[in-house]
Amino acid sequence: MQKRTLGQGLEVSALGFGAMGMSQSYGPGPDRDANIALLRAAVERGVTFIDTAEVYGPFVNEELVGEALCPVRDQVVIATKFGFDIAADGRQNGVNSRPEHIRQVADASLKRLGTGHIDLYYQHRVDPDVPIEDVAGAVKELIEAGKVKHFGMSEAAAGTVRRAHAVQPVTALQNEYSLWWRRPEAEIIPMCAELGIGLVPYSPLGKGFLTGAIDASTAFTDGDIRATIPRFDAAARQANQALVDLLSTVAARKNATVAQIALAWLLAQQPWIVPIPGTRRLSRLEENLGAADVELTAADLAEIEAAAAKIEVQGARYPEHLERMTNR
C-alpha cells in the first residue's frame, strides 16, 4: 500500500479504514469476531490508518477497534474523536467540548482502545459554546502529556480551523468529500494547502451510492441511516444515477469498478488527501484498496470534471438538524 503524509508529518496508508459502520448506521451486520477479522485483514493488506469515535455505538466501536488492533498496535495510526455529551447509557445530549470534558473522555477512549496514546484526536463537531482556542489548548495539553500525538477537526468552518491551528497545529480535517459532495473545494481544500493540513474524506463512496450497488428500487433495512437522508429518497436516487453512470463509463475503460474510480478521483485531487471508506465485507475491502492502483490521467480527470459539472446532485446530504452541526 502506498503511503501519504497528512499535516505535521503524520504518515499513513493512502487509503484508511472507517470503522463506524461496524457498530451503527447501516443496520444489522456481521458479529464482533467477523468485524475483528476484517480489521486485521485490512492491516495485513497494508492499511495503517483506522478511524473510530466514542460516539460510534456509542463506545463499542472503540472497544472493537482496540481489541482488533492490539496485536498490531505499533503498525497502525488510530484516529478517534471527542465532542459529544454522551450519558453512561449511551444517550446523546448534544455537543460538549469543554476542556474538562475533553480530558475525561480522552482517558475513557484510551481505556476502551487499550492503548497508551491516541495518534489522531479529532473534535467531532464544533461546540459553539466553547471558544475553539480553549479546545485546541486542551488537546495541546494532552499532546504535551503524551496521551495524544496529533490534533484534528471535523466539519469545521475554515475560519474556526485557522483559529485552532494558531494554538495547536491541526494535522488533519475530516470532512465529507466525494464527487457528490464537493463543498470542501470552496474554502477547506485551499486552506489545507496553505496551512499544510491533510484532508481525510469520510463517506468517500457517498454512503454506498457511488459503488453502483444502490438504485431507486433499493430497500433499506431497519436501522439504516440512509432511510432518513433526503439524498437517499427514491426520487433523488433516480436523479443522482447520472453520477454513477458517469463513473461507470470511466470504469469500463479503466477495467475498474465504479467504487474504484470514485476513490481514485479523490486520491488524484491532492497528495495529502486520504479517504477512509468503510465496509463490513472482505470483498469490498479488497475492491476499495484496489483503487490505489487505478491511475486517472489528466484527460480522465478533465472528462469527469466536465461531465460532473452538468449533473446537479439532488437531495440534502443530512437531515436539517445534523447539517446545522457542520461548518461552524
Strand-pair category, 11-13 with 3-5? antiparallel
- Grid cell in block for residue 109: 477512549
- Grid cell in block for residue 257: 469498478
Choice among 56, 122, 177, 202 that is catalytic: 56
Active site residue 56: yes
Q: Which residues are catalytic?
A: 56
